[in-house]
Amino acid sequence: MKQEVMLALVMAALVLAVAVFLADRRRKRIALGVYRERPLMTGNELEFFGRLVAALPQHYVFPQVAMSALIEAASTSEKRRYIDRLRVAQQRVDYVICDRRCEVVAVVELDDRTHQRARDEIRDERLAQGGIRTVRFESRAKPSVGTIRSIILD
C-alpha cells in the first residue's frame, strides 16, 4: 500500500511537471509570436534592383529601407513628435541610393498598381522635409539603365 501511494505521488508529480512545462512553452510561443521568412523583394523589385545597381556602379543601393532610418519627427511638441514618429514607423521605401560616404542621394520608388497616389505624395513630402528627393518610376514602363542613371544623378 505504501508503494502504491508513493507511485501515485510520483505519477502526480510527473503529470504536474509535464503540465507546467507545456504551459510555459505555450506562454513563450504566444509571447514570441509565430513568424516565417519573407522574401525581401518581389521578382519585379529584384529585376529593377539589378537595373539600379548597373546604372549606379559608384553608389550603394539599399532595398526596403525603413523610413524611420531616413527621417525623424522634428516637432517641438513632444506629443506631436510621438504622433509624427508613429506615422512613419511602419513604412518602408523601395530603394535608397547613397554615395560612397553613405549620404542619401535619392529615394527610388517603383510604382505599381498597389501604390496610391495621394499616400505617395504625403510620403514624398515627408521625405522632402528631411531633404531627401524621391524619384518615381512606373513598374509597367521601367526605364533603361542609362535613363535611370541620368534621372537619378542629374
pLDDT digits (tens, 9 = 90+) for 25-50: 666 666 788 899 999 999 999 999 99
Is 137 exposed, middle or buried, given 0-12, 13-18 or 19+ CB atoms closer than 10 A? buried
Is 125 in the same domain as 56?
yes
- In the prediction, which pLDDT does 2 show? 72
Residues 74 and 114 in one domain: yes
Residue 15 is part of which domain span?
1-35
Q: How many Å separate Cα 93 from the centre of its chain? A: 8
Three-state DSSP at 110 gives strand
Question: Residue 28: its pLDDT value, please?
Answer: 63
Q: Are residues 47 and 31 in the same domain?
A: no
Query: CA angle, corner 59, sides to 56 and 63, nearest 5?
Result: 90
- Whether residues 67 and 118 share a domain: the answer is yes
